[in-house]
Amino acid sequence: MALSMFQASVPVYIKMLNGLANCLKKGAAHYAERKLDEGSLLNYRLFPDMFTFAKQVQEATNHARNVVRLAGQEPPKVEENEKSLAELIARVEKTVEFMNTLKPAQIDGTEDKVVTLTRRDVSVDYSGYQFLLQRSIPNFCFHCTTAYNILRHNGVAVGKRDYLGPG
């Protein structure tokens, strides 16, 4: 049996989002136990031209929700105004809830569907396959990994098992 577009996307996003939520919870516990300022973490960047920690988490959830473009839908709009780890955790958990509403029939068979993304004034067409495997998943993993690395760099005791999530 061939791997379907649904199997290659939604369960992967859910698993990694659960791992991200777990890492965020460990971060919240770390900062609470040590009475550290969460704002310093939320605004932390690995390098000045990179997104902040909060933006890395926001972008990970945005890329996961973008999978509905394969179903011909626009992803739900979510404000990017989180000011605490608890709010970032809630954002990730709401994204998992949304992902759990998606059905294989919405995503399967979209390998050749044209997905057009417009940024600024430039539109780029992708096949469903290209969109999922060459744009969506790599960007999602990049932002999850960068958030994880920022947590590690700031002393949060997370490891590979935390990052990969349960299961």
In a domain, 140, yes or no: yes
In a domain, 5, yes or no: no
Prediction pTM value: 0.95
In a domain, 138, yes or no: yes
In a domain, 2, yes or no: no
116: nearest Cα among 129, 127, 125 = 125
Residue 24 is part of a domain; what is its CATH number?
1.20.120.450
Residues of the chain with pLDDT under 50: none
In a domain, 1, yes or no: no
Assess contact for 96 and 72: CB atoms under 8 A.
Answer: no
* pLDDT value of position 3: 83
* pLDDT value of position 1: 57
* pLDDT value of position 11: 96
In a domain, 97, yes or no: yes
* pLDDT value of position 2: 78
94: nearest Cα among 64, 67, 74 = 64
128: nearest Cα among 140, 116, 107, 111 = 111
* pLDDT value of position 93: 98
Characterize the bridge pairing of strands 114-119 and 122-127.
antiparallel
What total of structural domains would you count in the chain?
Answer: 1
